[in-house]
Structure 1
Amino acid sequence: MIKKLSVLAVSMALFSSCVSKKIYTDLEDKYANLKKENRSLTDEVETLSADNTKLNNDLDKLQAAYDEAVAERDRLQSEYTATKSNLDNLKASYEALEKNSSAEIAKNSKKNRELLAQLEAKEQALAAENERLEKLKKELESRSQRVAELENVIAAKDANMRALKDAISKALTNFEGKGLTVEQRNGKVYVSMENKLLFESGSWYVGAQGKQAVKQLGSVLAENPDIAILIEGHTDNVPYKGNAQLSGNWDLSTKRATAIVNILRENNSINPENLTAAGRGEYAPIASNDTSEGRAKNRRIEVILTPKLDEISKLLNDI
C-alpha cells in the first residue's frame, strides 16, 4: 500500500505540469483515497493485534494447567520406561546365571517378581494420570463455557438495569428539578426523592404530587417483575418532636418508607413479595447536617432496585 502511495505521489509530481487539470485532479483524489485506506488498514491491524494478545493470554493460562498434567504424565512414562529396561536387563542376567547357581536363580526370580510388581504399579499410575489429564481437559472446557455463560448473564442484567433506569427517567421527567434523581451504580438503580416532593415536615402522609411520582414509578416497576424493590426512609439529625405516637426519627423514616410501599401496592401488577420497606433514620446521610441545604438532601426516600441474582448464583456455584 505504501509503495502504491509513493508511485502515485511521484506520478502526480511528474505529470502535474504536462497533463490536463481533470487528470491531475483524478490523481489527487486517488492519492487521498489510498491514504485514507492505508490509515483504515493500519487501525484494523492494531485492533486485531490487541484482540490477538488478549486471546493468547487466556490461552496461556489454560495451557499452563494442561502442560503441568502432561509433564506429570511424561514423568511417569519415563519411570515406566526405566523400570521396564531394568527388568529386561535382569531377565538377561537371569538367563546367563540360570546354569550356574540355583541360589542366584532364586534371587533373580524374586527380583523379577518385585520388578514386575513395580512395573504393574507404574502402568496403573500412568493410566490413572492419563485419565486425570483427560478429566482435567474436559473440566477446563466445561469451566470456560460456564464462565462465558456467567459473563453473558451479567452483561444482560447490566443492560436490563440500564434500560430500567432509562425507562424510569423517562417516566419521571416531569419531576426533574423537584428533588428527584435517578442513578445507576454497582449494578443497581437508585431513585432518590427528597421529602419536599413527598411529605410535609414531620408527616408521613404523601402529598398529591408525590403520590403521582410514586405511581408513575410503579407503572415502570410493574413491567419488571424480576426486580427486588427496597424502599428506604431517611431523615436528618434534628430530633423529631412531632406526633407523640412516634418514638423518633427512626420510627418516622420507617413509616415514610411504608407509606411509599402502600402506594406501590395499589398497582396489582407489582408482586408484594418484591417489596421491602426499611427505616434508616439519620444514620445514612448523603450530605452534611450542618447546613439547611444538607439536611434537606438527607430527608429523602430512596428506592433501590436490584436484579434477582438466582441465575448468577447458580452459575457461580457450578464454577
Structure 2
Amino acid sequence: MFKHSLYRYAGVALLSTCLLSSCTTTKKYNALLAQKVKLEREKADCQSALSRTTRERSDLSKQVTELTEARAQLAADTSLLSNTLRKSQSVYADLSSTYDKLIKNHDRLMSNSALESSKLSKDLARREEELKKLNETLTKNRSQLDQLSSDLKSREERLNELERILAEKDKAVNALRTKVSNALLGFNSKDLSVDVRNGKVYVSLSEQLLFKSGSTKVDAKGQDALRKLAAALKDQQDVNVVVEGHTDDVPVARGTLGMQDNWDLSVLRATEITRILTSAGLAGTKITPSGRAENVPLDAAKTADARQKNRRTEIILTPKLDELFQILEAN
C-alpha cells in the first residue's frame, strides 16, 4: 500500500515537471514515458504482489485462527492430559505402594510358608512314625487277640468238659450216697448218718455204734454196719476211702494199753475199722486210715453231749478225679 502511494506521487511529480518544462525535449519525454510504463508495470506487479500478499494474509489469518483454535484445543487437551497425568501419577503411586506392600507380604508369607511347611513336614513325619508304631501295635494286639480267642475257645471247651465231668461226678456222688444210705437203712440215725459235703460222701458212725469207751475193738453191731458198707462199695472201683478217727478233748486214761494220748486212740480205731473193711472184701489200696484226735470237733462246747458228738469215726468216700485233674493240669 505504501509502495502504491509512492508510485502515484512520483507520476504526479513527473507530470508536473513536464508541464512546467514545456521545452522538454522529446528524448526526455520518451525517457519519462518509458519510465512511466516501467513504473506502471512495476505498479501492476506491485498490485499483483499486493493482491497475492492480501490473499496470503487472508490465508495466514485463517491459519492463525485455526492455529489459535488448535492451540486452545491443545491447551484444553493439555490441561485434561495434565489432570489425567496427575491422577495417573497418583494411581501409580498408590499402585506402587500397594505393590511394595504386596511384595513385603509375599516375602513374609513365603517365609512363614517355609517355616510352616517345615513344621508340617516334621509333624507329618512324626505322625507317620506314630502311625507305623500304632500299626505294629495293632498287628501285635491282633495276633495276641487271635491267640487269646483261640485260648478262650480252648478254655471254654475244657470248661464245658470240666462241667460235664463235675456233673457226672455230682451224679456219681449222689448215686453213691443213695446206695450207701440204702445199705445202712437199719441203723439208728443218731448213731449213723450219710451226708454229702464238698463233693464227698461222709458216713459218720458214733462211738456208741462202734466202740466201748477207750476201746479200739469194734462191737458186733458196728462190724455189721462196716460189712454192709464194704459190700456196697465193692463194685465202686473209682471211689477212694479215708477212715478218720475222732475223739473228744478228754485225755486217755493213764495206763491204757499201747496209747499215750488221743492221737493213738484215734489212729488205732481208724486202723481197726480199715481191717474190718478189707476183710469184708474192700481193696486195701483204696483205703487210707488216719487219726485226727480232738482237733476237728463237731461241737466245741465242753458238755457231755458235745463230747459224745465229737467221739466218732467218719468214713469219707471220694470219687476218683483223675480225668478232672488232667483237665485242670491242661489249664
Superposition TM-score, scaled by structure 2 size: 0.56
CA 1:250–1:269: 2 relative to 1, 3 Å: closer
Please show how residues 78-157 of structure 1 align to structure 2 within 5 Å: 127-157=139-169
What is residue 275 of structure 2 aligned with on the other side? 262
C-alpha distance in 2 between matches for 1:167 and 1:256: 25
- Largest Rg, 1 or 2: 2
C-alpha distance in 1 between matches for 2:206 and 2:310: 8
Q: Please state whether the residue corresponding to 1:232 is helix, strand or coil.
A: strand
Q: Please state whether the residue corresponding to 2:186 is helix, strand or coil.
A: helix
Q: Please state whether the residue corresponding to 1:279 is helix, strand or coil.
A: strand
What is residue 263 of structure 2 aligned with on the other side? 250
Letter of the structure 1 residue corresponding to residue 189 of structure 2 = G
Letter of the structure 2 residue corresponding to residue 261 of structure 1 = T
Q: What is the number of residues matched between the two proteins?
A: 217
Superposed displacement of residue 305, structure 1: 1.6
Letter of the structure 2 residue corresponding to residue 156 of structure 1 = E
Match of 2:296 among 273, 276, 284: 284
Please state if 1:215 is matched with 2:227: yes
Please show how residues 1-319 of structure 1 align to structure 2 within 5 Å: 127-177=139-189, 179-241=191-253, 243-270=256-283, 272-288=284-300, 290-319=302-331
C-alpha distance in 2 between matches for 1:138 and 1:207: 60
| Conservation of the 8 A alpha-carbon contact between 1:236 and 1:289 | no
Superposed displacement of residue 308, structure 1: 2.4
Letter of the structure 2 residue corresponding to residue 258 of structure 1 = T
Letter of the structure 1 residue corresponding to residue 216 of structure 2 = W
| Conservation of the 8 A alpha-carbon contact between 2:230 and 2:281 | no
| Conservation of the 8 A alpha-carbon contact between 1:230 and 1:278 | yes
Superposed displacement of residue 222, structure 1: 1.7
| Conservation of the 8 A alpha-carbon contact between 1:165 and 1:183 | yes
C-alpha distance in 1 between matches for 2:127 and 2:298: 77
Letter of the structure 2 residue corresponding to residue 314 of structure 1 = Q
Superposed displacement of residue 229, structure 1: 1.1
Structure 1, unaligned runs of 5 or more: 1-113
CA 1:277–1:121: 2 relative to 1, 3 Å: same
Letter of the structure 1 residue corresponding to residue 256 of structure 2 = N
Superposed displacement of residue 245, structure 1: 2.1
| Conservation of the 8 A alpha-carbon contact between 2:265 and 2:293 | yes
C-alpha distance in 1 between matches for 2:318 and 2:171: 13
Q: Deviations over 1:42-73 (max 9, x none)?
A: xxxxxxxxxxxxxxxxxxxxxxxxxxxxxxxx
Superposed displacement of residue 140, structure 1: 2.0
Q: Please state whether the residue corresponding to 1:174 is helix, strand or coil.
A: coil
Q: Please state whether the residue corresponding to 2:258 is helix, strand or coil.
A: coil
Letter of the structure 1 residue corresponding to residue 259 of structure 2 = L
Q: Please state whether the residue corresponding to 2:307 is helix, strand or coil.
A: helix
| Conservation of the 8 A alpha-carbon contact between 2:191 and 2:209 | yes
What is residue 90 of structure 1 aligned with on the other side? none
C-alpha distance in 2 between matches for 1:306 and 1:269: 15
Q: Deviations over 1:249-300 (max 9, x none)?
A: 2211110000000011114452x22211111112222125533222221111
Structure 2, unaligned runs of 5 or more: 1-125
C-alpha distance in 2 between matches for 1:135 and 1:172: 54
Q: Deviations over 1:77-112 (max 9, x none)?
A: xxxxxxxxxxxxxxxxxxxxxxxxxxxxxxxxxxxx
Q: Deviations over 1:14-60 (max 9, x none)?
A: xxxxxxxxxxxxxxxxxxxxxxxxxxxxxxxxxxxxxxxxxxxxxxx
CA RMSD of aligned residues (A): 3.2
| Conservation of the 8 A alpha-carbon contact between 1:193 and 1:300 | yes
| Conservation of the 8 A alpha-carbon contact between 1:222 and 1:267 | no
C-alpha distance in 2 between matches for 1:209 and 1:195: 12
Superposed displacement of residue 317, structure 1: 2.9
The share of aligned pairs that are identical, in percent, is 41
